[in-house]
Structure 1
Amino acid sequence: MEAQYRDFVIRDWEKRDRTFAADVIHSVLTEYGLPWQPKEADRDVLEVEKFYQDAGGEFWVIERQGQLVGTGAYYPVKRGDRAVEVRKMYLLPSVRGQGLGKYLLQQLENAIASRGFQEIWIETASVLKEAVKLYESSGYEPATGVETARCDRVYVKFL
Structure 2
Amino acid sequence: MNNPSIDIQEYLAEYQSQVIDLILQIQQQEYQISITREDQPDLLEIESFYQKGIGNFWIAVANEEVVGTIALLDIGEEQAALRKMFVAKNYRGKELQVSSRLLYQAFQWAKEKAVHDIYLGTTQQFVAAHRFYEKKGFVSVTREALPDAFPVMKVDSKFYHHTTPFA
**What is the TM-score when the length of structure 1 is the normalising length?**
0.88
State the superposition RMSD in angstroms: 1.8
Q: Deviations over 1:18-59 (max 9, x none)?
A: 11100000011011111233333x211111122112454111
Q: How does 1:2-151 map to 2 (within 5 A)?
A: 7-30=5-28, 31-40=30-39, 42-78=40-76, 81-97=77-93, 98=95, 99-145=97-143, 147-151=152-156
- Ranges in structure 2 where 5+ consecutive residues have no aligned partner: 147-151
Which residue is equivalent to 1:154? 159
- Quick check: 1:72–1:86 contact (8 Å CA) kept in 2? yes
Runs of 4 or more, structure 1, over 3 Å off, are none
Q: Distance in 1 between matches of 2:103 and 2:36?
A: 24
Q: Which moved more, 1:67-76 or 1:6-15?
A: 6-15
What secondary structure is seen at the aligned counterpart in 1 of 2:118?
strand
User: How many residues matched?
Assistant: 152
Percent identity reads 23
Q: Deviations over 1:82-103 (max 9, x none)?
A: 1101110100111011322122
What secondary structure is seen at the aligned counterpart in 2 of 1:139?
coil
Letter in 1 for 2:163: F
What secondary structure is seen at the aligned counterpart in 2 of 1:110?
helix
- Ranges in structure 1 where 5+ consecutive residues have no aligned partner: none
Letter in 2 for 1:46: L
